Amino acid sequence: MSTKPPPKIIFQPTVPLHLLDTYNLHLPSTSQSPTIPQIFLDSLTVRATVFVSEQNAVPLHHHIDRDDARSCCMVLYYPESEQKIEQQARQVPVGTIRLVPSPHYPHPTEGARYEAPGDDVPSVSAKELFSSPLPEYIVDRSTDLHDGIEPYVKLGRLCVVKEFRGRGSAIVLVRKMLEWVVANPDFACAGDGREWKGLVGIHANSDAVGTWKRCGFVVDEAMGSWFEGGMRHVGMFLRLNLDGITTE
């Protein structure tokens, strides 16, 4: 008897800029140039399903940002139908996570509101978006878990489509990405000469804090809270020892 293929997670390294320049921000990821890596497009498909269609947090043409051109991602795939047992069943993307290297924009301000541009706000071309200036390394404000100086990587865009939640998929994605960055520490500072000592930060939706805590992240109380897309967020950090994951 044939059995359905198991779920799998696939890693997508940073996509070269010359490929991203062809991306049409007004079209869904399923209608893009075939020269753009499919795993990257699948990650965007999951993000659009959750953040654009389900949560209405951001319009389609604004859900991609500058960091997509310097980050890497992972995508979780499940068989197209769990009722099917055909050996060659198509795998569909159902979850994703993104990892962004240092540096980052300053820590959000307590109580601030950061809203995505409205649907009526025109977007620039992909070439303009992905060639816009990156955040510069600065001395940020000190918090409980970040001294404002130490480089850190940032996880984000963690999401799983509604039908596949409640299976621990988000935690698996987080842990797989943490394992990857421990094995590839040079990614963290993008070769700028600074030393990464294993610090990982996130901006966590308050509803997802429990998930992040199960992965070892700790809420940075001194960062306070703020709103992104109308949803309350808090800062959390995890310290990795570069020989493996630690929850200290």
- What would the pLDDT profile of 66-119 be if each residue is shown by its tens digit? 999 999 999 999 998 654 444 556 899 999 999 999 999 999 999 999 988 888
pTM, two decimal places: 0.92
Q: Which structure tokens are listed for 209?
A: 């804090």
Q: Domain map of the chain by residue range?
A: 8-239
* In the block, residue with structure tokens 């990857």: 180
> Which residues fall within 8 angstroms of residue 221, CB to CB, at 6 or more apart?
144
Tens of pLDDT, residue by residue over 6-23, are 899 999 999 999 999 999
pLDDT given for residue 248 in this prediction: 45
Assigned architecture for domain 8-239: 3-Layer(aba) Sandwich (3.40)
- Give the closest residue to 70 by CA, choosing from 243, 192, 242, 171: 192
Compute the distance between CA of residue 171 and CA of residue 50 in angstroms, rounded to an integer: 17
Pairing of strands 8-12, 153-160: unpaired
Q: Are 126 and 21 contacting, i.e. CB atoms less than 8 angstroms apart?
A: yes
> Mind giving me the DSSP string for the chain?
---PPPPEEEEEPPPPHHHHTT--TTS-GGGS-TTS-HHHHHHHHHHIIIIIIIS--S-GGGS--GGGGT-EEEEEEEES-TT---TTPPEEEEEEEEEEPSP-PPPPPTT-EE-PPPTTSPP--HHHHHTSPPPPP--PPP-SS--SSS--EEEEEEEE-GGG-SSSHHHHHHHHHHHHHHH-GGGTTTTSSPPP-SEEEEEEEGGGHHHHHHTT-EE-GGG-EEEETTEEEEEEEEEPBTTB----
Both structure tokens of 17: 């800029």
pLDDT of residue 191: 77
Q: What is the pLDDT of residue 245?
A: 55
Q: Whole-angstrom Cα distance, residue 9 to residue 78?
A: 9
Residues in the chain predicted with pLDDT less than 50, given as ranges, are 1, 83-86, 247-248
pLDDT of the residue at 1:
44
CA gap 227, 138 in Å, rounded: 23
